Structures are given as structure tokens and as C-alpha cells.
Amino acid sequence: MTQTSEFIWHNGEMIPYQQATTHVLSHALHYGSSVFEGIRAYDTPNGPAIFRLDDHIQRLFDSAKIYRMEIPYSKEEIMDACKQAVKENGFTNAYLRPFAFLGHVGLGLNPKSHLADVTVAAMEWGAYLGDESLAQGVDVCVSSWSRLAPNTMPTAAKAGGNYLSSQLISGEAKRNGYVEGIALDVNGYLSEGAGENLFVVKKGVLYTPPTTACILPGLTRDTIIHLAKERGYEVREEPIAREALYLADEFFMVGTAAEVVPVRSVDQIQVGEGKRGPITTELQQAYFDLVKGQAADANGWLAFVNE
Ligand code: PMP
């Protein structure tokens, strides 16, 4: 995994990777004032397709709106830039990183200009939690760090600054030998992983923390809720206590980068059978069939790069 490419779209044009730089006094570098997306493109029988491109770019604009950041391009232009970034770099599978940030606008906390610089990078990025994670499951822990409280920083915005919290959560977990850390919310209920939303399966019902649990409202979470309901499963968005993880039949984490990852233990307590369970397997398969164009795309979620 190199996370490089030949070209990066930057402020309206495709430029060579090495030239996509910014000033050291960029506002975002000092204060975390950036908003971004992580999107995947998958190889399908009709060529590369970007999954839920429209929804991701809408979330980028929503994140910018919360911070009064002005993106000087239309949604359509950014979506086109995403397609170009895949196409011109010759990728079939890719991870896309569109982002908007306050650049060289001065170091005052509230600069006069809220006009963002905008970049779309594409790169190859394999299984985020490791090659074996999808089949074998992962070992995770509950973090000593809580997620942001709702009246501190808005977690519905996918903003650079929020990821200091995620770095504390995942860094602590990794130093202690776990693959990922799970955070509780300010009330002590389950929130989310450092970069993933959570699903607990008990007696055939799926439970996932509600948006009031200070989560990023993930698009993979939304896709899984959709796929589960389509298959007749009941899905409940409600507060979940920590111990529900230990007593779950199955537990899995979802995210664009992580995809659908079974969890085999939490805090060194085995979850269910300690391996990928049947409902996780079914939904994981349904997810990959959908994103790879192997199943009907009833919602028009695939944006084909070569159209
Ligand atoms: N929570 C956090 C904190 C994340 O960073 C991510 C990854 N973007 C998710 C949840 C999952 O969101 P999505 O499914 O939209 O990628």
C-alpha cells in the first residue's frame, strides 16, 4: 500500500502528485479546520464504480456548512473530480479522499475568508483493519477515551479536528495489542469505533447506536441497515450498554475503509462463537455483492467512472 498516485485534483485541475502541496501556515494544519470524505471505488463488471458518491459528497458539503466553510465548487464538480481521480490514475479499485480545508487565510481563529481549498486524492488502500480482518474477525477493546460530547464538537461533521479523538482511541488500542478501539459516548453508552460504526446482533435482531450517541452517521451503517431490513431483519437504533458487546451473539464494525468487519473478542472476552457469525457473513456478502456490482443496484448507489 503506497497511498500515492500519479495525479491529484487540486482546486480545479489535475496536477502531478508531487505538486499537490500547501503552505505550512495553512489554517487547517494549526486548528484542524478541514472537512473530508473517505469513499471507495470498486471494480465491477461495468468498470470501476464509486459507491454512494452522491451521498458522500452531500456529507462533505454538510460538514462544510456546519463550519461555515465555503466550497467554491458545485457538488457535481466534486463528483466529476472523484471520477477523474480514479480514471486518470488508472485505478480499478481505489480509496478516494476528497477534502476541503482553510488554507493560507491567516492564523486568526476566525479568518475573514472561509473560502476552502479543495483536493481530491485517489489511492490504492486494501482492507483497513488488515487482510485477515474480513474473514477471521478482529480483537478490539473499549477505549479509556470517550467520544466527543454533543455540545463540544459536532460529530455529524466529518471534520479533521474530530480525528484527534479517533487517534487517541485507535492509538491506545493498538499499543495494547488490539486491532481497534471502541468508544463510549459521554453517557457511557456505546458510540463508535475510531473509524467505524457498530452493530450488535442478539437473538436475530440487529442493534446499532443512534445518532444521539455522538457517532458519525456512516453511509456504510446506512447501507447495512438497508440490506438487513431488505432481508427481513429487525434493526433497532437505540442506546446500547457496554456489556451488550460481551453478551452479543455477533458483533461487527462497518465503515467505508474497514468495510464489514466481524469482531471476535472485546476486552479479551470472546464474542459469540469467537468467529464471523452467520448474520455478519450474510450482510458482509450482501455488501460486497452490492459494491462490486454483483447484485442489483436498486438505489442507484454505483457511480460508474467511465460513464
Ligand atoms: N465513524 C467514524 C468516526 C468514521 O471515521 C467513519 C469512517 N468514515 C465511520 C464512522 C463510518 O462512516 P462511513 O461508513 O460513512 O465511512
State the pLDDT confidence band at 154, using cuts at 50, 70 and 90. very high
Domain boundaries, the chain: 7-124, 131-292
Comparing C-alpha atoms, which of 149, 147, 156, 150 is closest to residue 65? Answer: 156
Ligand 1: which of 196, 227, 287 to mutate, judged by most atoms within 8 Å of the beta carbon? 196
Q: Are strands 250-255 and 197-202 parallel, antiparallel or unpaired?
A: antiparallel
Comparing C-alpha atoms, which of 268, 290, 169 is closest to residue 222? Answer: 290
Comparing C-alpha atoms, which of 232, 231, 248 is closest to residue 289? Answer: 231
Kindly give the distance from the C-alpha atom of residue 38 to the centroid of ligand 1, in angstroms, as a whole number: 8
How many whole angstroms separate alpha carbon 267 and alpha carbon 243? Answer: 11
Q: Is the pLDDT of residue 1 over 70?
A: no
How many whole angstroms separate alpha carbon 90 and alpha carbon 7? Answer: 10
Q: What is the mean pLDDT of the chain?
A: 97
Residue 147 phi/psi, 5-degree rounding, is -70, 170
Report pLDDT digits (tens) over 162-190: 999 999 999 999 999 999 999 999 999 99
Indicate whether residue 277 lines ligand 1 (CB < 6 A).
Answer: no
> Which grid coordinates are listed for 103?
488554507
Report pLDDT digits (tens) over 78-118: 999 999 999 999 999 999 999 999 999 999 999 999 999 99
Comparing C-alpha atoms, which of 142, 160, 145, 147 is closest to residue 215? Answer: 147
Report pLDDT digits (tens) over 122-149: 999 888 888 899 999 999 999 999 999 9
How many whole angstroms separate alpha carbon 225 and alpha carbon 227? Answer: 6
First to last CA, the chain: 28
Do 41 and 305 form a contact (C-beta atoms < 8 A)?
yes
Ligand 1: which of 52, 56, 167, 197 to mutate, judged by most atoms within 8 Å of the beta carbon? 197
Q: Is the pLDDT of residue 2 over 80?
A: no
With pLDDT > 90 as the criterion, what percentage of the chain qualifies? 95
The amino acid at residue 119 is T
Q: Is the pLDDT of residue 62 over 80?
A: yes
Indicate whether residue 262 lines ligand 1 (CB < 6 A).
Answer: no
- Options 3.20.20.70, 3.40.630.10, 3.50.50.60, 3.30.470.10; CATH for 7-124 is 3.30.470.10
Q: Active site includes 83? A: no
- CATH topology for the 131-292 domain: D-amino Acid Aminotransferase; Chain A, domain 2 (3.20.10)
Please name the residues in contact with 203: beta carbons below 8 A apart, sequence gap of 6 or more: 249
Indicate whether residue 219 lines ligand 1 (CB < 6 A).
Answer: yes
Would you state the pLDDT for residue 163? 97
